[in-house]
Amino acid sequence: MSILLDAIRTGQLISKRDIYYIEPEFFRAQYIVNNIIDDLACTIGVNRGALNVEAAGKGLVAGNFRLIRESQVVLDAQSPTEDTLIPRLKNGDEIDISRIRWVMVIEKEAVFHRLARSAYHIRATGGEGILVTGKGYPDLSTRAFLRKLYDVASTRPTPLRFYALTDGDPHGMAIMSTYKYGSVAQLHENARLSLPRLQWLGLRVSDIVAVPDEFGDKALCPLTKRDRNKILAMLQNSPVWASDGPEPQWRVELQRMLMLNFKAEIEVLYEHTGGLEGWIDRRMFRQE
Amino acid sequence: MSKQYLQTHTIPLAHPTDIFSLAVTPSQLLSASGSSSLRIHSTKGQIIHADTPDDEHPYPLVQTLEKVHPLGCHHICTSLDGRTAATAGFSGELKVWQCSEDGQWTAVGEINPAEKQAGEHWALALSENGQYLAATTHDGRINVYDTRSIAPEGTAHKFTQYETKGSFGMSVDLSSNGSMTASGHQNGGIYIFNNTTQRLAHSLAGLIKPVRSVKFSPACRYLAAAGDARIIALYDTQSGEQIANLTGHGSWIMSLDWNWSGEYLLSGGYDGKVKIWSLERRECVATQTESEKCLWSVRWLPKAASARNETFVTGGAGKTLAFYREASGT
């Protein structure tokens, strides 16, 4: 309560996540903090905003790493059953990723949950990794967290691979571009938060078309007029997709999508032999 | 009895990215890709036995048209007489070109889509003398423009507009005698229109998946159609009757072409395989594989009077132009 009083007195906004991280050992779990806040708000008869508690960032993470703040482990994200919210990092935070071989950035929350629940971050044939989702376009906290992983990993002799797992459609590719290069809206943050070595694991439409017998007829959806217009806007307006830009393979994939007039959702891989996890294992192995 | 084809020449990295479309004239090969340039190679194909292999260039690059389509070019076509060409860019712009006596191409003009229909023009076909340009649209229409009426402000007189059920028009062809227009659509629809009456002549059944290529035979008697169903359907253009199905491709068929005599069909697949089909025997007589990369377009080179054996060329995601000729003696 004193934390909330402070926040109100100083006019500062604080998130439920921030509150938890002030005394993680005391609070023991994020959901406990969430419940206390909601109970307090309810008892007083106001909404959460009146207590100066703002919506926290939305990114989720799973993986066998540790976040260390002021010599204490404040985050342990191994659990496959509970979501771990991506923390807002502070100066001086350290991340122990000594066991981690790869990081996967996932476009959709549902796919993240599928992989976290099946403990893919522990069981992958490519070794242990970290799963991250920004639930669509990533917010600054998520991007800052990923950048921190990148910076920490740059000091290691063994490289850390960064993969993006998106739908095979313009929306997914635009999200991937935001993770790697930043967004138009946050230009001043871009260089600081870019992920230079992010590579596209999939799903590409061409992946599905190449093996027409492995997936059923429903595997692909026709592009809508809106999809096509979005692809044209991307090709036209953004330097990322330019013909002399940094990603000629991404650019040609957008053109191929227009040629084929189809898009693909990650969920089609669920029915695949070996499931989504098997497909990722094989793809990671091929791209190594 | 099968035929043998040999790969006689390749031009790797003919374009910096996927080659999406090929077109031929009696003496040239025109190619379009995801880059903004068009490339023209000579196909007169005189094999000069030079001192070194490097000096033997049967298909030299004779012209590059730079910065033609900023977002890339997905379709290119030529008139049978080889004097007119048309190209469509991903932004929806259509450009018309003419060839001079000495084989150089220059722009005639441009047909731009209306603002809210960006990206609208898709597949293209030119009439025998280049006067009429047929272009499909995203919502299944086929616009036929008079290329002689292109105005500087980017418009052209529309000779006619054929309407279908609204499914994306993926392919189009004009018969060499000018009498028919055919279109293939994403929902499997195939239509033949009578250009004299400007009405629908046939709605052809048989393919239920996207139809990526439709081609009239040289004598206009047959229409071949193929696509994601992995079969080539053959129709009689007068009766509309389906007379054959050619099976054998293991992947989507992206491109078809008839040879000059109408005896053989050429087809290119998503799996990189190109097949030659005998009309008489209704079966595949040869298969060639350059790589497993998608072949977006395959074309016979027009048969030179002096040549005994026919040549064809393929282009696709491998960025390579690959030339094949029938092996002598078969």
Among the listed ranges A22-26, A233-237, B80-84, which one has the minimum average pLDDT value?
A22-26
On whether any CB of chain B is under 8 Å from the CB of A249, the answer is: no
Nearest CA in chain A to B254: A260
- Give the gap in angstroms from C-alpha B35 to the nearest C-alpha of chain A: 7
The single residue listed with the structure tokens 């007068």 is: B238
- C-alpha B93: how far from chain center: 18
Q: Give the H or E element holding residue A8.
A: helix A2-10
Chain A residues with CB-CB distance to B36 below 8 A: 243
The sign of the dihedral angle between the CA atoms of A200, A203, A206, A207 is: positive
Chain B residues with CB-CB distance to A206 below 8 A: 294
Task: Name the band, by pLDDT with cuts 50, 70 and 90, for residue B273.
Answer: very high
**B293 burial class (0-12, 13-18, 19+ CB within 10 angstroms)?**
middle
Nearest to A256 among B18, B210, B228 (CB): B18
pLDDT at A73: 78
Partners of B174 in beta bridges? B181
- How many CB atoms within 10 Å of residue A226? 10
pLDDT at A202 over 90: no
pLDDT at B106: 97
- Give the gap in angstroms from C-alpha A228 to the nearest C-alpha of chain B: 8
What percentage of residues in chain B have a pLDDT greater than 70? 92
Q: Which two tokens stand for residue B54?
A: 């490097």
pLDDT at B209 over 80: yes
Nearest CA in chain A to B35: A243
For chain A, the first-to-last Cα distance in angstroms comes to: 50
Alpha helices in A118-183 (DSSP H): 120-123, 140-154, 170-181
Nearest to B20 among A210, A229, A259 (CB): A259
- Give the gap in angstroms from C-alpha A249 to the nearest C-alpha of chain B: 9
Give the residue with greater pLDDT, A285 vs B233: B233
Give the separation between CA B272 and CA B161, rounded to whole angstroms: 35
Chain A residues with CB-CB distance to B252 below 8 A: 209, 212
Give the separation between CA B194 and CA B179, rounded to whole angstroms: 6
Nearest to A229 among B17, B20, B118 (CB): B118
Query: Could you write out the three-class secondary structure of B124-188?
Result: EEECCCCCEEEEECCCCCEEEEEHHHCCCCCCCCEEEEECCCCCCEEEEEECCCCCEEEEEECCC
- Give the gap in angstroms from C-alpha A12 to the nearest C-alpha of chain B: 47
Nearest CA in chain A to B72: A255
Task: Name the band, by pLDDT with cuts 50, 70 and 90, for residue A53.
Answer: low
The single residue listed with the structure tokens 């028009």 is: B169
Is the separation of the CB atoms in A120 and A128 below 8 Å? Answer: no
Give the separation between CA A98 and CA A113, rounded to whole angstroms: 24
Give the residue with greater pLDDT, B290 vs B225: B225
**Could you read off the pLDDT of A236-279 as tens digits, one per residue?**
998 999 999 999 999 999 999 999 999 999 999 998 888 999 99
Give the separation between CA A200 and CA A194, rounded to whole angstroms: 15
Alpha helices in chain B (DSSP H): none
pLDDT at B116 over 70: no
Chain B residues with CB-CB distance to A208 below 8 A: none
pLDDT at B330: 46
Phi, psi of A193 (to 5 degrees): -115, 15
Instruction: Please give the model's pTM, rounded to 2 decimal places.
Output: 0.89
Interface test with A, best of B71, B167, B291 (most A CBs within 10 A): B71
On whether any CB of chain A is under 8 Å from the CB of B187, the answer is: no
**Could you read off the pLDDT of A81-139 as tens digits, one per residue?**
677 889 888 888 899 998 899 999 999 999 999 999 999 999 999 999 999 999 999 98
Give the separation between CA A265 and CA A203, rounded to whole angstroms: 7
Chain B residues with CB-CB distance to A233 below 8 A: none
Chain A residues with CB-CB distance to B270 below 8 A: 209-210, 212
Nearest CA in chain A to B168: A261
pLDDT at B109 over 50: yes
On whether any CB of chain B is under 8 Å from the CB of A48, the answer is: no
DSSP-derived secondary structure letter, B48: -
Q: Give the H or E element holding residue A9.
A: helix A2-10
So which residues of A are the catalytic ones? 21
On whether any CB of chain B is under 8 Å from the CB of A1, the answer is: no
